[in-house]
Structure 1
Amino acid sequence: MPFLPQLRIPATYMRGGTSKGVFFRLEDLPPPAQVPGPARDALLMRVIGSPDPYGKHTDGMGGATSSTSKCVIVSPSTRPDHDVDYLYGQVAIDSAFVDWSGNCGNLSTAVGPFAIMSGYLPAARIPESGTVTVRVWQANIGKTILVHVPISNGQVQETGDFMLDGVAFPAAEIVLEFLDPADDEGGDATAGMFPTGQLVDRLEVPGVGTLEATLINAGIPTVFVEASALGLDGTELQPAVNDNPALLARLEAIRVAGALRMGLIRTPEEAATRQHTPKLAWVAPPRGYQAASGKPIAASDIDLNVRAMSMGKLHHAMMGTASVAIATAAAVPGTLVNRAAGGGQRDVVRFGHPSGTLRVGASVRQVDGRWTVTRAVMSRSARVLMEGWVRVPPV
């Protein structure tokens, strides 16, 4: 029987922060994939190489980790006072689905440079040298992100001396501002970014027991627990967690219980199709350790340690959206994150993660007993890895 030729679709492969993914302009996608639905999902899964029962993504662009199985769609913004709309898809590795429930903070960094290089900003906006602010509408969660992109000789500056723990080589620094990053999804809308209205909940987890948790919708829905409640100390690296099936099962049970309490799912079974959110993280007071690269991290270098799960595995560094959640929760006295950092009020926090440290800030305020966050700020970097066309069989 005849076989159809592969599709040839313009695409750019980019690193953003500690993640990388395949970037598309909406208008370059085949017409059926230009709108949400099965055709779009099938195309992106084939681009990445999912589902892959071997867990390798050998026949696709994915890297078989939660940090490298990502797709981004960018288009001229439909929102006033914004430059582009940005849609993010987290592609499952061994299952046939794309999770659209949240944002990727790391790849948000690359959206600014991609928008400029794609011609989405007027030439008059681009200085000969300096910085241009790309105003991004994050369509998954309905939030604004300001991406401050360095410009040199009228072009996006990608090289530089900014080092980001979790990335092997230096690049140009890009500052991200997440505006009004809290979300009311799930719980009581009047409760704000804490969906249960509590800074600390007692979470009953079948098969695990009852433990304290801070549940927050800021950056990305996140369930924070104390490392000590898990028998951990917050200095764990990937092998200690990802090679421990019993621990992984306990952690997933806690994530599911948190998702139920936050109102993000109605039954435990729904969690299987919502792997991207919520995130689960554990916090601990500062303690020295050796990062995955071998770099020593002293307790005096950090305010607390944080480890976070992504798509069922311990993340090799820290997700950008989870970093927003960490900064926001750390700024609110009484949360488990704030307690681990030593308590009190703080606008900036530096935390340890498996690859090193990260400094992130958040501005919070309490109005009529309700905590809100106005912005979170962090520095990342991004660069183009490859550009041209991605080829996939017809789907």
Structure 2
Amino acid sequence: MGSSLPKPEFQSHICDKKVKREEDIVFRCEANTDQLEVIWEKNGQRLYDGDRVSISKSGKDLSLTISKAKEEDEGKYTITLRNDKGTASESASVSLPQFDRDWRTINWGKSVSVKKSLQEYKLSGQGPKHLRFLLHGPVGAGKSSIINSINSIFQDQVKVGALAAATSSDLSFTKVYKTWQIKDKQMGLLPFVFSDIMGLEKLDGGIHTDDIISILEGHIQENYKFNSTSPLSKEDTSYNSSPTLDDKVHCLVSVLSANTIHLREENDDLMKKMRDVREHASGLGIPQVVFMTHVDLVCPLVKDNLNNTYSSKSIKNKMEVCSNTLGVPMNCIFPVKNYHEEIHLNDNVNCLILNALKQAVAFADDYVSN
């Protein structure tokens, strides 16, 4: 190499990559000279041609290709240029938004069989007439939309029964205590009822936690109008002093939006309210699940294909945040997408909702059996 040999420099640079599974990872850059040694490393370990790794140098053009990306390919990649005049290095990271395989099993494409098992569900003769699920959570999380979505699935067409507020709303649409029974197009009324209530708002707004506790215990009658500052008293005409097992809640369903869960903190007013309700439900032995809505809004992979829900790292991360913030085990958290803009049913949407409902029914069944 002559005395005119330039010190290595980058004319163009490598950049961070976010790639899908099985997609090729390609880094390209250009040096200021072709008279140099090129070294590629991943997390400090040198890379060589072979297997899925291909290193190319054509004059000043340099590239590294890793075919069919896997989760193990995530990390920091560094390219170093070296000659007698010196060295130059730069790094970029690779991340995959998907795990190599689904971390939770779901029967994609088999919503009909799950639906049939729920259609054929029967309660014990000594038990209540129906299983009662109480939906509670922040305004706009999708409580009413869950009822509409479940009803749509069993009616075989998109329905709007429990009127829902827009997801951007910060005021509760539901003002009174309302019970909705699920009706199947073929089987008629199913033994599942959903109690829809006012949403949780700021510390001094939304439904009062004492009213939610009264609902859990079966003390509030149908069409009771909620008052944010004055919960139901025993002297009120809407107070049910002798609740039966039918009046009581058999499973508490917390509804949280995946799109906003990252904004919640442990000391968040809404989370405090929800934890207070959960603690009381636990004291009564009532099982609890979380329906985490709006999963399509937080992950492009899931928006493109709901089948990616349980391989999405973003969705699992949201579930972990939900678990840590609310104190609910991961196996009691179910990501779902409600029907809110669609006019036709979708089997993948049905699969997520029906699998979540099936687990909630199993928990509620165990509760009433005991």
Q: Is the shorter-chain TM-score for this pair beyond 0.5, marking a shared fold? A: no
Compute the TM-score of the two structures, normalised by the length of structure 2. 0.28
Larger Rg: 2
Higher relative contact order (CA 8 A, sep 6+): 1
Larger fraction in strand: 1
Larger fraction in helix: 2
Compute the TM-score of the two structures, normalised by the length of structure 1. 0.27
